[in-house]
Structure 1
Amino acid sequence: MIGTLMALTADSGLQDIGLWMARPALLIYLIVQWPRQGYLARGLQLVALTLATSVAAFHSDPLPILLDAWDRFCFFATFVSALGLLRVSAMRSRLIRDAGQVLIRQRPTWRYPTLSLGSALFGMIVNIGVLNLFGAMVQRSNSLRAAGGVKAIQSIRERRMMMAMLRGFSLAPLVSPLGITLAVILSTMPQLTWSTIAPVAFPTAGLVFFLGWALDWLLRPRHLTAPTASRPASGPLYRFILLALGITVLVFVVSLGLDVRLPVAVLIACPLSAVGWMAVQRRRLGGGTGVVRAVTLLGRHSRLIFGASRNEIAVLGGSAFLGGLLIPLVDQAWLGDLLIATGLHGAPAAVTAMLVVLLLAQVGLNPIVSVTLIAGLFADTHVIGLEPQVLAVALMSAWSLAMISSPFTAAMMVLAQLTGRSPYTLAWRWDGLFFLLLLPLISGWLFVVDAFY
């Protein structure tokens, strides 16, 4: 992490030192974590190793390509680790639990919007941990007694709340400036910035949110009623909103103050926020600022903290590494001519890219891989008659849609474990209608956006 930050922010003299700190350190990390990685992580790394060997054997000048691809791997490993530090602080925070209770114990009319928007907001900070946190709260609060002893009410409540959480979490790729999705898009399409994507991404997220809310309202059970639980005070939720806003503002302040791109600012602001947040928690133990205790805790448990991100680092970094190897080998002009010859030009090309990501997600290929490759191959979107914002939002939308429709995503696996149901049931039965309505809606929206630009 330190080496990558030096390479991205230091003067030219220190950049090479930073790169050669990061490159071997990441290799050692991957070797050490290999026995505990999942099948997807291992498989992706084996594919990357095979392709790297082929490039080294058959390319006339392979070293610059290999080093550039490995530096991409280092960047995303650092990005995931920075967010992981923030997640550690969040999961130790009482404020998170109290604010989550406020969201869970809402009246049925407002339960969907509060849970959905709350999952999106918490997801910016806690990432996938928000589903574990809220899911456990839902299971505890949705007891048979709370449902008035009616099993059907308990089952319907579980379904509505779990889907509200999942749909809200799926908004994160479209709205979060701290997310992995935005980092992938901005690193592979450097002509874009968050400010140029947000005017298109935010209305897209609005379509997802309002369709989900409308569907939840229209399909609500009208013949069953349950006792109304008392709502807790909203203070913890407001304090968390201020905290999340503060972290987000710090990211933009770092970006503007140091004149660095937003993903680089995340690498700096998130660890600082994590240490500050944990210091506040440690300060309660008595005396001092808590900073020393926070740093000591992170150092003592660093093996577990960074080890917990092994699969995310391998999959996200490995995808970036593959993209870094493939992009220089592809003739962009030839690819553009081929696509134009097939009739995929403008908005149809954006919709097709979205569908490709979605179809691959249904057979288990994580959107991290497909989005990285597509965004990298079409860094110059004008060859297919598209403004970069349109392709970027199409890929971000595909990532969101994959979260609610693919049985193989991490989000679906978490909810399946919490509910004791098959991920196929959650993805294709519980959320199938929402997906079937949302897909043509977003496709049509992409045509509107393309015409506007």
Structure 2
Amino acid sequence: MSGNLAPRLRALSGVFPVGVMLGTIAAEYGSSPVLAGLSGVLSLATILAFCVSDRSSPRIFAVVGLAMVILAILSRSDGLAGSWSAVEKGSFVIALYTALSAIRIAASGSEEILACGRFLAGQRPGLRYLALTIGGHLFGLILLYGSIALLGSLASESAMREPDPEIRRHRRRRMLVAVQRGFASTLSWSPLGFSMAITTALVPGAEWPKVALPCLAISITMIIVGWGMDAIFKPRLNRPVPIGSGPGGGWLLHLRPLLLLLAVVVTGVFLLHQAAHVDVVVAVMSFVPTVAMAWILQQGKSSGTGRMSHLGHRVGEFTTRELPAYGGQIVLLFMAAFIGSLGAFLLVPMMPRLGIDLGALPPLLIVVSMVWLVPLTGQMGMNPILSVSLIVPMLPSPAEMGVDPAALVAAIVGGWAITGTTSPFTASVLLIGSFGKVSPRHVGLAWNGFYALVMGIVISAWSAFLAMSM
């Protein structure tokens, strides 16, 4: 590709995911197959543009996806329809990712949000882990992986001020692990994350309002167990450690901007869900960008250029710079959903011919196995979106197994949360490894291996209890 064309295509590529988001939102509210089809076309244009303009994008997944499409068309009469259904699944992922990226970009321009992060990272040693894991959770609800980038950088910056190299090394590890586990705990219940959105879409009878409380219990347990393990296994030094003091001021005062943002998003999503009778994820997808634009407008009063001018500038940057910078991530997420969906489409009809009947297995075994299968496939390089999209359609429905859908959802999202702390191929582990200056596999197995084992046992027991309580 010529030197002049590549930058132009890269800048244009950010327009496509915005179009996918707008088309998906309109299609969901209007129940329009035409708009849904347009979103699918734009999502394919997104992947093509990123694969051509960004050499770092995982093109191998696109090649695998194309090969699967050819196989589907040659092996099944409805292969084209199944392939298009997989495109629509991937389109939904792009739309949700774009919507959530908007709020992350708005937050990056907020000095108040940065101040919240500095307050958490500056806590005294006795409170630091708990502060950062709760902060990682609260920030993760809104910023997703951006919470790790924000708090991880602030934690590393805070640890580097410690002159003793041994204390500095332990402090950095404990702070980064706290941030990571706090973020991972959002994966087990947050309606703003891919884990809950995809799982509730795949599990028959599952809706976020019906599964939120059982899954929130997993999140709370992850925070408590992590805090307890940090206190029990904290490093013992042969010399006294100087006790520092944390920043002054009350917690509510310092965290007020973040808590206010969360309150606005949660309340707005709930009201929209009730008033428009749309799925919670659709309400998130449509409301969050609105909040992001309002927030950017508010930030514009101190920009010196005017609010509307500031909004136009930031939207332009978001479209032509921010989204293209995440092109590889968008390709990976789309292809994970696409390959998982199309793989299930090809494999499900083959199972009876191969003599495989998962319905013959004990329901408790199926439910509990999902807690471990998702992290295991994560160690093999499979994104949870791919593994869940591939495996869940092959399982008997909760009604067929005689279990509450909440049990299966809790097992899946619980395993997804564990994957967020252990898989060396996930963004959360990669980011923590880069901040901690260790390999992603060291983060997953050495820093979080025992924690993942404990949480796997706890989540298995909880999911089994939910399954038996129906």
* TM-score relative to the length of structure 1: 0.91
Equivalent residue, structure 2, for 1:228: 244
Match of 2:189 among 175, 181, 191: 175
Confirm or deny that 1:80 pairs with 2:97: yes
Equivalent residue, structure 2, for 1:369: 386
The one-letter code sitting in structure 1 at the alignment partner of 2:234 is R
Equivalent residue, structure 2, for 1:65: 82
Equivalent residue, structure 2, for 1:159: 173
Equivalent residue, structure 1, for 2:460: 443
Q: Distance in 1 between matches of 2:293 and 2:164?
A: 46
Q: Distance in 1 between matches of 2:55 and 2:110?
A: 29
- Which secondary structure state, in structure 2, belongs to the residue aligned with residue 273 of structure 1? helix
Equivalent residue, structure 2, for 1:339: 358
Q: Distance in 2 between matches of 1:53 and 1:375?
A: 23
Confirm or deny that 1:3 pairs with 2:33: no
For 1:178-257, what aligned pairs fall within 5 Å after superposition? 178-189=192-203, 191-221=205-235, 223=237, 224-233=240-249, 234=251, 235-257=253-275
C-alpha deviations, 1:127-182, integer Å up to 9, x for none? 111112111111221235xx4x4322222211211111111111011131211111
Equivalent residue, structure 2, for 1:56: 73
The one-letter code sitting in structure 2 at the alignment partner of 1:195 is P
The one-letter code sitting in structure 2 at the alignment partner of 1:246 is V
The one-letter code sitting in structure 1 at the alignment partner of 2:447 is W
Equivalent residue, structure 1, for 2:126: 109
Equivalent residue, structure 2, for 1:260: 278
Conserved 8 A contact 1:354-1:395: yes
Equivalent residue, structure 2, for 1:317: 334
Change (3 A) 1:141 1:323: closer
User: Residue 272 of structure 1: CA displacement?
Assistant: 0.4
Confirm or deny that 1:278 pairs with 2:292: no
* TM-score relative to the length of structure 2: 0.88
User: Residue 292 of structure 1: CA displacement?
Assistant: 4.8
Q: Where does the alignment leave 5 or more consecutive residues of structure 2 unmatched?
A: 1-20
User: Residue 323 of structure 1: CA displacement?
Assistant: 3.8
Q: Which moved more, 1:60-69 or 1:247-256?
A: 60-69
Conserved 8 A contact 1:275-1:295: no
Q: Distance in 1 between matches of 2:438 and 2:264?
A: 38
User: Residue 390 of structure 1: CA displacement?
Assistant: 1.2
Q: Distance in 2 between matches of 1:38 and 1:113?
A: 40
User: Residue 57 of structure 1: CA displacement?
Assistant: 2.1
Match of 1:354 among 365, 371, 379: 371
Q: Where does the alignment leave 5 or more consecutive residues of structure 1 unmatched?
A: none
Q: Distance in 2 between matches of 1:150 and 1:321?
A: 49
Q: Which moved more, 1:437-446 or 1:295-304?
A: 295-304
User: Residue 269 of structure 1: CA displacement?
Assistant: 0.6
Match of 1:393 among 410, 415, 419: 410
The one-letter code sitting in structure 2 at the alignment partner of 1:196 is K
Q: Distance in 2 between matches of 1:297 and 1:340?
A: 52
User: How many matched pairs?
Assistant: 444
Change (3 A) 1:196 1:291: farther
Q: Distance in 1 between matches of 2:126 and 2:396?
A: 44
Change (3 A) 1:200 1:139: same
Q: Which moved more, 1:224-233 or 1:109-118?
A: 224-233
Q: Distance in 2 between matches of 1:245 and 1:65?
A: 40
Confirm or deny that 1:31 pairs with 2:48: yes
Q: Distance in 2 between matches of 1:302 and 1:142?
A: 35
User: Residue 251 of structure 1: CA displacement?
Assistant: 1.5
Q: Distance in 1 between matches of 2:309 and 2:40?
A: 29
Q: Which moved more, 1:382-391 or 1:327-336?
A: 327-336
Q: Distance in 2 between matches of 1:300 and 1:404?
A: 32
Q: Which moved more, 1:111-120 or 1:19-28?
A: 19-28
Q: Distance in 1 between matches of 2:174 and 2:355?
A: 44
Superposition RMSD on alpha carbons, in Å? 2.4
Conserved 8 A contact 1:320-1:372: yes
Q: Distance in 1 between matches of 2:101 and 2:301?
A: 22
The one-letter code sitting in structure 1 at the alignment partner of 2:36 is L
Change (3 A) 1:142 1:381: same
Confirm or deny that 1:134 pairs with 2:154: no
Conserved 8 A contact 1:181-1:396: yes
Q: Distance in 1 between matches of 2:355 and 2:367?
A: 13
- Which secondary structure state, in structure 2, belongs to the residue aligned with residue 60 of structure 1? coil
Conserved 8 A contact 1:105-1:232: no
Q: Which moved more, 1:104-113 or 1:36-45?
A: 36-45
Match of 2:399 among 382, 394, 400: 382
Q: Distance in 2 between matches of 1:262 and 1:18?
A: 20
- Which secondary structure state, in structure 1, belongs to the residue aligned with residue 58 of structure 2? helix
Change (3 A) 1:37 1:351: farther
Conserved 8 A contact 1:174-1:397: yes
Q: Distance in 2 between matches of 1:414 and 1:153?
A: 22
C-alpha deviations, 1:9-33, integer Å up to 9, x for none? 12x5xx2431343232222221111
Q: Distance in 2 between matches of 1:151 and 1:316?
A: 39
Equivalent residue, structure 1, for 2:451: 434
Q: Distance in 2 between matches of 1:370 and 1:173?
A: 15
